[in-house]
């Protein structure tokens, strides 16, 4: 395996982490301290509705931000992130495996 692919996967994974954190900053509130993760891990329809209602309401410092749009973008970017970290983990396993099969 070429180590350059591992470094590429690592760089893409870290870049996606930064993008998701920066993009999702406005989703953090007292009710959603983990931002989009709170929506993704909501256990009931009423929890989802509450989160979406909070994000639909202007909240002082984020009045000009459409948090529903931000959440939608964050979920779309999450699919790219899943691809990146999966590639990183697969390449990591192959790399470590090569240490034992020389």
Query: Which pLDDT does position 34 carry in this prediction?
Result: 95
Residue 99's pLDDT band, with cuts at 50, 70 and 90, is confident
Please state the domain count of the chain. Answer: 1
Q: Which domain holds residue 83?
A: 3-100
- Return the pLDDT at 82: 98
Distance separating alpha carbons of residues 90 and 74, to the nearest angstrom: 24
The model's pTM: 0.81
- Cα separation, 14 vs 10, in Å, equals 6
């Amino acid at each position: 395996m070429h180590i350059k692919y591992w470094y590429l996967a690592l760089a893409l994974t870290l870049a996606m982490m930064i993008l998701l954190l920066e993009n999702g900053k406005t989703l953090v509130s007292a009710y959603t301290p983990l931002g989009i993760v709170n929506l993704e891990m909501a256990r009931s329809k009423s929890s989802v509705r509450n989160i979406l209602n909070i994000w639909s309401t202007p909240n002082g410092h984020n009045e000009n931000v459409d948090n529903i749009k931000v959440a939608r973008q964050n979920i779309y970017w999450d699919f790219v992130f899943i691809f990146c970290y999966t590639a990183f983990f697969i390449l990591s396993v192959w790399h470590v495996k090569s240490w034992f099969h020389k």
